Amino acid sequence: MSDEVEGQVAAAAESDRPVPSSVEIGVTAVDVLADIRVVDAETGERIDKVIFADADAGKVRRYAVENGALVLEQDQFKVIEEDRPIRIEWLGNKRKNSF
């Protein structure tokens, strides 16, 4: 089987799995987080460095990032909490997850 066909088969199998409505680092299994993207429901843009996301409640907790680096604030990484419409999706054939 070619790599392309294998990728299509894997993507189809993933689409059969129910997508979790919420995910959290340290709670959700690492192998699940590796296959998840959290996206802005209005723009479709991936939300990066997610700590916690709840699609039903529209809540995201994530690390602040500037110029590709985590932002330090008083010797701790700055955390942003947002209320916004989001979707949690399987990664599929996209390359980068949200964690």
Alpha-carbon distance 19 to 31, whole Å? 13
* Tens-place pLDDT, residues 30-44: 999 999 999 999 999
Q: Which two tokens stand for residue 42?
A: 């209005």
Sorted by where each begins, the domain ranges of the chain are 3-90
Alpha-carbon distance 79 to 64, whole Å? 6
Task: Mark 3-19 as b/e (b = at least 16 C-beta within 10 Å).
Answer: eeeeeeeeeeeeeeeeb
What mean pLDDT comes out for the span 89-99?
89
Would the pLDDT of 9 be above 70? no
Question: In the structure, what pLDDT confidence band is assigned to residue 8 with cuts at 50, 70 and 90?
Answer: very low
The per-residue pLDDT for 95 is 82
What mean pLDDT comes out for the span 47-72?
97
Alpha-carbon distance 4 to 35, whole Å? 18
The per-residue pLDDT for 77 is 97
